């Protein structure tokens, strides 16, 4: 019985891991309550991105000293958040009256959103690699790539 339970857990975990790499499909919010919740979750993810980018931006600008531990931790977090973004961005809330900073183009061109999310993930991995290598000369550039990926998405999909 224990072997069967372990096998079921492994299968469920493998399915969950594999599903994170599958592209998210856009779905319409089913109710105003659903739209409000989806918007709150989406905005919460971006608050977490902001909280992890703040110290990195300070380091890139020279306002804070480089802290490899913070860079590594925040880069891992940003990679993880990028893994979740597609799911939280894919709920189209336009049909309901919810306060959102998202442009309509977000849902109209979702494949482009997914590319930009992948760019964030790749940039976060790049910072992790620079930290692992101890390449201080690469830190500013690696942080800059993360910031550029964020800006690119904001420019195209966030209202001013």
For residue 130, give the CATH number of its domain.
Answer: 1.20.120.10
**Which pLDDT tens digits describe the chain residue by residue (160 residues)?**
444 444 444 444 444 443 444 457 899 999 999 999 999 999 999 999 999 999 999 999 999 999 999 999 999 999 999 999 999 999 999 999 999 999 999 999 999 999 999 999 999 999 999 999 999 999 999 999 999 999 999 999 999 8
Whether the pTM exceeds 0.75: the reply is: yes
- Is 4 within a domain? no
- Is 2 inside a domain boundary? no
> Structural domain of residue 65, as residue ranges?
27-157
Residue 113 lies in a domain: yes
Is 154 known as a binding-site position? yes
User: What is the number of structural domains in the chain?
Assistant: 1
| Whole-number Å distance between alpha carbons of 143 and 94 | 33
Do the annotations mark residue 34 as ligand-binding?
Answer: no
Structural domain includes residue 11: no
């Amino acid at each position: 019985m224990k072997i069967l339970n372990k096998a079921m857990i492994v299968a469920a975990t493998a399915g969950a891991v594999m599903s994170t790499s599958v592209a998210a499909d856009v779905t319409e919010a089913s109710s105003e309550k659903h739209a409000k919740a989806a918007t709150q979750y989406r905005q919460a993810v971006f608050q977490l991105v902001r909280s992890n980018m703040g110290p990195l931006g300070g380091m890139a600008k020279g306002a804070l000293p480089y802290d490899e531990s913070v860079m590594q931790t925040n880069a891992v977090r940003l990679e993880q958040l990028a893994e979740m973004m597609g799911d939280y961005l894919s709920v189209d809330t336009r049909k309901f009256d919810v306060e959102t900073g998202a442009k309509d183009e977000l849902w109209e061109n979702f494949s482009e959103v997914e590319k930009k999310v992948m760019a964030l993930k790749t940039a976060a991995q790049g910072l992790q690699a620079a930290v692992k290598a101890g390449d201080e000369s690469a830190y500013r550039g690696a942080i800059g790539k993360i910031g550029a990926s964020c800006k690119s998405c904001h420019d195209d999909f966030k209202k001013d």
